[in-house]
Amino acid sequence: MEELQLTKKQIQTEQPNWLALMMELGKDFANRASHYDQAGVFVYENYEQLKAHRFFSAMVPEELGGGGMSHAEMCGMIRLMAHYCSSTALAFSMHQHLIAATVWKYKHKGEGAALLKRVAAEQLVLISTGARDWLESNGEMEKVDGGYIFSGKKYFASQSAAGDVAVTSAPWLDNSSEWQVLHFGVSMKAEGVSVLDDWDVMGMRATGSQAIQFEKVFIPDSAISLIRPRGAFHPVWDVVLTVAMPLIMSAYIGTAEKAVEIAMSIGKKYQRNENHITYIAGKLHNSLLSAQTQWKAMHALANNFDFAPDEHISIDMLSLKTNVSEAAQQTVFEAMEAIGGQSFYRKNTLERLFRDVQAAGFHPLPKWDQYAFTGERLLARY
C-alpha cells in the first residue's frame, strides 16, 4: 500500500497525472459507494466523471488519440480505484480488458486501430460477454444475405447498464455441418438489443451487470472479427487471458488492501482483541502479501503487451487468478476478524467489501474448472 501514500510533491512531479486525478475523483466515488451499493444501481455519476477525464482511452496508444498508459500502470489504476469504490473498479476493468486485447493486436498485428481511435474520440464503453461464453458460447445465428440474424441472452454483462458496444459471440452451424463460434461487436442501440433489469445480487451490486437480450439483431459480415471451432481452446484466449486477468484481479487487490487499511486503523483500538491483535495483524499481512505478490506475477506475465501468445502462460495465468481470488477473499475475512462484530454492520465499509470480494471466484475460470483445465494440460505435457 506504500504506493498510495503519496505526498503532494510526489503527485505533481513523480506520479502520472492519471493517479493524481484518480485520487481526486476517488473522494467522490467513496462518498457515493454506499448509496450505489444499497440501491443496487449502476455507478452512472462515476462513469460520467471518468469519461469527462478520458479514462476510457487511457491505455489507447498516443498515436491513436489515447493516453498511452501501459498495461501495468492500468492494473495499478484499477487497484487504486477499488480503494474508493470496488464496483466502479471492476466494471471499469471489463472495458479495459477489451481495450488491452485490442492494443495487443494493434502492436503485434497492426489490427484494431479503427476501434481504438473511436474509443479515444468518443469515449466509448465496451461491454464483454466472454465470462459466460467461454469455449461453447450461446445464442443462435442464422445466415442471411450480407450477414447473420442473432438472438440470445448474455448474462453477467458488466456495465451493460451504460455501455455502448457489446463484444460478444454466438455458435453457428456452418455449411459443412461443423459448429463454429463467431465473434463480433454490436451497438447497444441496435434494433433488437435490450438490457434486462435482473442485477440484484450479493456483492458488486453497482457494476450494472444486467443481462443483455438480443432479439433477431442483424450482424453484418463485416462485423465478424473471429471464427473458431466451438468447444475447443483457441489461441485467441492466450491473448485475452494474459491481458485480461491481471486487470480484473486488480479490482480485488484494491478491495483487499482497503479492507486491511480499515482493519488496522480500527482493530488497534478494539479492546476485545487487545491481547491478540498483533497476531491478527501479522497473519493479515501475510494473506495480503500473498495476494499482492501473485497479482504482480500476473501482470509481469503480460509484460506490458510484450509477449507471444502461449498456452503455458494461459495455464499459469489462470492458476494465479484462482490463487489471487482466494487470497483476496481470505484477506478481507481476516480483516473482519480484526474488528469483530462491528464488521457485520452495513455502516462499516468492511461489510460491503466482504460481499464485493466474493465475486472474485466467479470470473473465468472458476476454480474447479481451472483445476480441470490446468490438470488436463499438465498431464498431457508429462
- Same domain for 367 and 250, yes or no, is yes
Q: State the alpha helices, DSSP H only, in 274-366.
A: 277-302, 311-339, 349-357
Least Cα distance to 210 among 158, 284, 149 occurs for 158
Q: Show which of 125, 154, 178 is a domain's final residue.
A: 125
pLDDT, one tens digit per residue, over 222-248 is 999 999 999 999 999 999 999 999 999
The answer on pLDDT for 2 being more than 80 is no
* DSSP letters for 152-207: EEE-S-TTTTT-SEEEEEEEEE-TTS-EEEEEEEEETTSTTEEE-S----SS-TTS
**pLDDT mean over 183-207:** 97
* CATH at residue 138: 2.40.110.10
- Same domain for 208 and 300, yes or no, is no
**pLDDT mean over 78-96:** 98
pLDDT, one tens digit per residue, over 358-378 is 999 999 999 999 999 999 999
- The answer to whether residue 3 sits within a structural domain is no
Position with higher pLDDT, 145 vs 340: 145
- Same domain for 255 and 181, yes or no, is no
Q: Which residues contact 287 (CB under 8 A, 6 or more apart)?
A: 327, 330, 331, 334
pLDDT value of residue 353 = 98
- Same domain for 283 and 181, yes or no, is no
**pLDDT mean over 77-81:** 98
pLDDT value of residue 346 = 85
- Same domain for 242 and 344, yes or no, is yes
- In contact, 302 and 243? CB cutoff 8 Å: yes
Q: How many domains does the chain have?
A: 3
Position with higher pLDDT, 7 vs 115: 115
> For residue 1, what pLDDT band results from cuts at 50, 70 and 90?
very low
pLDDT value of residue 344 = 86
Rounded to whole angstroms, how far apart are CA atoms 303 and 298? 9
- Same domain for 307 and 363, yes or no, is yes
**pLDDT mean over 184-210:** 97
Element (H, E) at 78: helix 71-82
In 3-state terms the chain splits into helix, strand, coil percentages (rounded to 5) of 60, 15, 25
- The answer to whether residue 4 sits within a structural domain is no
The answer on pLDDT for 3 being more than 50 is no
The answer on pLDDT for 132 being more than 90 is no
The answer on pLDDT for 191 being more than 80 is yes
- Same domain for 149 and 275, yes or no, is no
> For residue 9, what pLDDT band results from cuts at 50, 70 and 90?
very low
Give how far the C-alpha of residue 130 lies from the chain's centroid of Cα atoms, to the nearest Å: 11
- The answer to whether residue 290 sits within a structural domain is yes
Element (H, E) at 82: helix 71-82
Q: Show which of 181, 199, 229 is a domain's final residue.
A: 229
Give how far the C-alpha of residue 13 lies from the chain's centroid of Cα atoms, to the nearest Å: 30
Provide the residue range defining the domain that includes 304: 236-381
Q: How far from 174 is each of 148, 184, 228, 378, CA to CA, in Å? A: 12, 16, 11, 33
The answer on pLDDT for 134 being more than 90 is no
Report how many helices (DSSP H) and strands (DSSP E) the chain contains, helices first.
12, 8
- Same domain for 87 and 109, yes or no, is yes
- The answer to whether residue 1 sits within a structural domain is no
pLDDT value of residue 6 = 39
Least Cα distance to 327 among 283, 272, 262 occurs for 283
- The answer to whether residue 7 sits within a structural domain is no
Q: How high does pLDDT run on average in the chain?
A: 93
- Same domain for 79 and 37, yes or no, is yes
Q: Show which of 229, 246, 280 is a domain's final residue.
A: 229
- Same domain for 370 and 252, yes or no, is yes
The answer on pLDDT for 278 being more than 90 is no
- The answer to whether residue 241 sits within a structural domain is yes
* CATH at residue 317: 1.20.140.10
**Any idea which residue has 486488480 for its cell?**
250
pLDDT value of residue 272 = 66
Beta strand pairing status for 224-229 and 165-173? Answer: unpaired
- Same domain for 172 and 185, yes or no, is yes
- The answer to whether residue 2 sits within a structural domain is no
- Same domain for 313 and 281, yes or no, is yes
